[in-house]
Structure 1
Amino acid sequence: MTVPGWLWAATIVFILLLVAYDFFFHVRKAHTPTLKEASIWSALYVGIALVFGLGLWLLGGHQAGGEYFAGYITEKALSVDNLFVFLVIISSFRVPREDQQKVLLFGIVFALIARTGFIFLGAQLINTFAWMFYLFGLILLLTAGNMLKKDDHSDDADNFIIRLAKRFLPTTDKYDGDRLFTVQDGKRVLTPMLLVMVAIGGTDILFALDSIPAIYGLTQEVYIVFTATAFSLLGLRQLYFLLDGLLDRLIYLSYGLAAILGFIGVKLILHALHENNVPFVNDGQPVPVVEISTQLSLSVIIGVLVLTVLMSLFSKAGKANTAVSNARRHAQNYLNPDYTSDEFERERVFRLLLDEEKQIAGMEKKYRDRVKDIEEIRARVAEAHELHTRITRF
């Protein structure tokens, strides 16, 4: 597939314009997106990605179009998994609700830059060393195994870089709007806003190590890899607010993603065997194996994701996990005085907490008691009620 330079330039400019528009017209002014705003813009970004894919299908052929959609859907699913970790980091740093958009946009921009670098590096490695398909396949199989082993999403906020920054650099635990630096006792210090951006940037690099081999397992066309990755990241900020409160419901997502990554890992290794030139494998000659077509890959990816989402949505354990986890988060947000300066938002959070308590009360005890740290969550909810009583009394 030959892509002219002007098309590369036009695509990059278009993506940069979307990011710039997102910042200047939505993120620059701190605010909490409404459900309507998040829904409209999420649908718009998905629509742009679909229209681009259809254009690629018509102009580049069904092979290119199929590879794009397989890559886009896989990267989009992985980006939803990324949101779990973003949620953990943002909650750990207690980022004010109004400023969460800027943190997320930074993460998206950093991911675009990091993954673009990995994309071109991966292309160069594949073109130079055919055995890289074996390595990419092994990485995906190991990643799939790790996803099956983990019980929950780890807290990456307290990583090595953050600990070093807090130990050797002047930092404060207080936010100063969305500023990265502030003045405290006459000294210039780092705010938690800078630290949370460092944490998210670090996790973006780790995510790239998994996602780039995954999409190279579906296509080796650099243009398709780049556009599928970029369009899957655009709109991630809006998706975060749209899925707020529902992320914990997708209890089987990690299993679905593990199956997809494992499938692509096998596909990569089969392709490596088919193109083999490694001396100690079949004397450096290609191995006659069956290769997995793009159409089959696309069917498997869509099928696994649909099955995973449906199982999560209709699972009683998933419903209980969602309600209890949301109750914990809303209780913590209500108790945190720095969560938001908007009293209407704070009252909205408390009303959501009341609704979730009603849902939990109507569930079977065996499901709600299965949630991790259930007693601690109950204590936090009780504290939120006590605080609300004191506030309304005065």
Structure 2
Amino acid sequence: MSEASSKRMNVFERYLTLWVALCIAAGTLLGSRFPGLAEFFDRFTVAQISIPVAVLIWLMIYPMMLKVDFASVRRVGERKQGLVVTTVVNWLIKPFTMFGIAWLFFNVIFRDLITPDLAQQYLAGAVLLGAAPCTAMVFVWSYLADGDPAYTLVQVALNDLIMLVAFVPIVSLLLGVSGVPVPWDTLALSVVLFVVVPLVAGWLTRRTLIGRHGQEWFDSSFLPRFGPVTIVALLATLVLIFIFQGETIVANPLHILLIAIPLAIQTFLIFGIAYGWSYLWRIEHPVAAPAGFIGASNFFELAVAVAIALYGLTSAAALATVVGVLVEVPLMLTLVWIAKRTRDKVCARHECALPQVGAAVEPVSIDSGEV
């Protein structure tokens, strides 16, 4: 990773929560002051999918897919324990703990604060987050915690492949159990549009450009051009979504906190399971930390897109997924700090060397306040 890329990541991590908060505030203000904006954007909808949001979602995901080299799946046989941890936690534990925690809070603990219809919608949004482990941002969390970048790539690639076949059945099962009707065809179409299409486009672009110009040019000259694209698309998406949610938020500001509570509990629980399991299994820190981050964070671009496609831009389910975006960054930075603080203890159980990021680039220090 180049020094310039490291600085961009540092700035990105330091200020993303602020940008997200400002965009949510701007969207809420616009939506509450100018309700006609929501009606205007709602005209550009085809098959329950908003065209403006679809374009922004693609702009978010495509640069991330450019970074995923699926040829690295050939390394799946190296250090199998890390892959076992992330696979079991992400697909056999995480979706079901998310459903259980969200159901408990929205239907039992908060039942006097929200209506049954809102509880079901918030539960649906939480399930969509729980069934989509992180694809892109985990590279950032792994880097900050001194994770092994090559092995992180293998973990992400494996989870992406599993998500292509497991996301729809898991979401349909859990939402069916919760009493929320799920249009299977719309859900499957959303996965194709927001995962398969950008994945294939990213793979073709990567393969073509590396073949013509080489890996070094691709990593140092081409990829950095897309850094701002993802951030701008994410922030624009938040503004647009909160234009539709403006009146709801102004009328029910408490609901943002109610949604955030179970999502935060789920985040710490899943990280604790994956990271704790890795510690007990004597998995080295550069593999253990990313294994915990992948499950703790979410592929929120997919969750937001599917929530919008299934329930609409004005739905409470879409609001729940967007709250996931709001709380994820500060929560994940906290987990990065925990992983850094416990690194020596983890390494004491296994001889592990930190990845060499580059001779001229020092590892990012969470303790020093650089993030």
> TM-score when scaled to structure 2?
0.29
> TM-score when scaled to structure 1?
0.28
Q: Which has the larger radius of gyration?
A: 1
The structure with more helix, counted as a fraction of residues: 2
Q: Highest relative contact order (Cα 8 Å, sep 6+), 1 or 2?
A: 2
